[in-house]
Amino acid sequence: MIGSGRQAPPVPRAGLKKVAIKQLRPGMYVEQLCCSWIDTPFWQSSFLIESAAQVGRIATSRATEAWIDTERGLDVEPAPEASATAPAAPGAADATVFRFRPAPRATMDDELGRAAVLLDQSKRALFDMFNEARMGCAIEVRDAMPMVESIAASVLRNPGALIGLARLKTADNYTYMHSVAVCALMIALARQLGLDDHLARELGLAGLLHDVGKMAVPAEVLNKPGSLTEDEFCVVRGHPAKGHAMLLASPGVGPVALEVCLHHHERPDGRGYPHRLSGDDLGLYARMGAVCDVYDAITSNRPYKAGWCPADSLRRMAEWARAGQFDEAVFAAFVRCLGIYPVGTLVRLQSGRLGVVAEQPCGKSLLLPKIKVFFSTRARTYIRPELIDLGAPGARDAIVGCENAADWGLRDIDRYWLGDGVAKVP
C-alpha cells in the first residue's frame, strides 16, 4: 500500500540475508530495515553499520528484522567456541565464556625478561602478518589471538614491564611495536574499566590490528623524517578506511576490531577522521583506541621527533581531553592504569634526589610508585643507585615533580628501570 510507507523487500540476489535486529553488529551492511521508512532513525535506506551506537539506534526503531548484504559487509557472527586455553569456571551457566588464564602478580625484574622475549616474538609475527596484508592476503585471526593472549598474560602479571619496554622502539620497527603497545594498553584499559575477559581479548586484538591500513601507505611517506605535504597527509589519513577494508576481507575479525580500526582517529568533538563522528555516534571501543594510540605515539621516538616524557604526555593529553579530543572518563581510567607518573618518568624527590619511576604500586596511591634514585641535585653528581618504595611504611620521601633529563645532562636514564641484561629495544 503506497500511503503506508512500508518498503517493498529488496530484489533477491546473492549475499542478501534477513536477520533479527539483535544479530546486527558493526561492520554489517544493512540493505534495508524491515519497517516503514518513516519509522527508521536513518535518512538512507542502505548503509554500513560503523559503530555500536548505530546498532543501538536501530534497536530503538520499530524494526524487528533487517536485510543485510554479506558481500558488502559482515555476516551473522557464528556461535562462540569454548576456549581450549581458558575453560569456564565449574558450574558456570555458559561454558563458552572466555577467561584469561590466572596470572599471578610478578615484580618488574621478574617480568622484564619475559616481556622482552615476548616483544621480539610479537614483532616478528606482526611483520609477517602485516606483510601478508600488504600483499592482499587476509589476516589470520587464529594466528593473532595466541599473541594477544600472551600479551594479556604479561599485562596481568605486571603491565609496566611490557608497556614500558614497547615504548622504547626504533623508527625501523615503529609500526609493529606500536601495534603491540596499543594491544597491551587496550587490555590494561579494558581491565580498568571492568570489561570482561572476552571483550578485553577482542580489544587487545583491535589494538594489534588498528594500524594495519598503514600497509597501504608508501614507506617513503610513512617514514618521512620531515613535515608531510598536504597530499601526503591525505594519503596517511586514508589508513583507517584501508585497514577497515582489509579486516572486512579477513574471516573471523569481529566488530570490536573493525570499529577501532576505522574510528581510532575520531574525536568526541567531531573534529577527527575519516567520518567526523561525535557524541553517541562514536563508540566506546573507538574512544579507548584513540587514547591508547595517541599515548604510545607521543611517548615514542619517531622519524620526525623524539618521544615525550610519559608523565608530561599524560599532562598534555589531559588538556586535550578537556578540549574535546578524548573521552574524559575513558582518559581518567587510562591514567589510573598507568599512574600519574608512568614507568620511565624522571622525577625529583623532596630529598633533592632524581630518580626514574621503576614500578607502579599495586592497590596503592598513584602518587607512591617505586623509584630508582641515582642523582643528587644538590651535589650535581651521580650517586649509588637505590630502589625506594614511596608507599612502604615509614617512607619519608615524596615526589615533587617531573624533570627533563637534558636539563641535568643525563643520558640513557631508561637503564635505571630496565635493570641488567634487558635489551632496551627488542
pLDDT tens sequence across 20-79: 888 888 878 888 888 775 656 666 678 888 777 677 778 767 788 888 988 777 888 765
pLDDT digits (tens, 9 = 90+) for 102-123: 888 898 989 999 999 999 999 9
Instruction: Give the highest mean pLDDT range of 22-36, 139-153, 201-215.
Output: 201-215
Same domain, 406 and 317: no
The whole domain housing 403 covers 346-418
**Is position 386 within any domain?**
yes
**Is position 244 within any domain?**
yes
Element (H, E) at 387: strand 381-389
The pLDDT value recorded for residue 84 is 39
Same domain, 113 and 139: yes
Same domain, 279 and 355: no
> What pTM was computed for the model?
0.76
Averaged over 90-113, what is the pLDDT?
74
Same domain, 302 and 358: no
- b or e along 188-227 (b: 16 or more beta carbons within 10 Å of the residue's beta carbon)? bbbbbbebebbebbbbbbbbbbbbbbbbbbeeeebeeeee
Structural domain ending residue among the three candidates 287, 319, 338: 338
Domain count, the chain: 3
Strands (DSSP E) found in 253-359: 346-349, 353-359
The set of cell numbers assigned to 188 is 590494561
Pairing verdict, β 65-69 and 370-376: unpaired
Torsion over CA: 124, 298, 326, 223 (sign): negative
Q: What are phi and psi of 354, to 5 degrees?
A: -105, 145
Same domain, 125 and 193: yes
Q: Indicate the range of 38-42, 306-310, 331-335, 413-417 predicted with least confidence.
A: 38-42
Q: Indicate the range of 59-68, 137-146, 329-338 predicted with least confidence.
A: 59-68
Q: Which band of pLDDT confidence, cut at 50, 70 and 90, is reported for residue 421?
A: very low
Same domain, 353 and 333: no
Q: Which band of pLDDT confidence, cut at 50, 70 and 90, is reported for residue 92?
A: very low
**Is position 123 within any domain?**
yes
**Is position 425 within any domain?**
no
Structural domain ending residue among the three candidates 338, 358, 389: 338
Same domain, 320 and 188: yes
Please classify residue 297 by burial: count the beta carbons closer than 10 Å to its beta carbon, then call 0-12 exposed, 13-18 middle and 19+ buried: middle
Same domain, 356 and 333: no
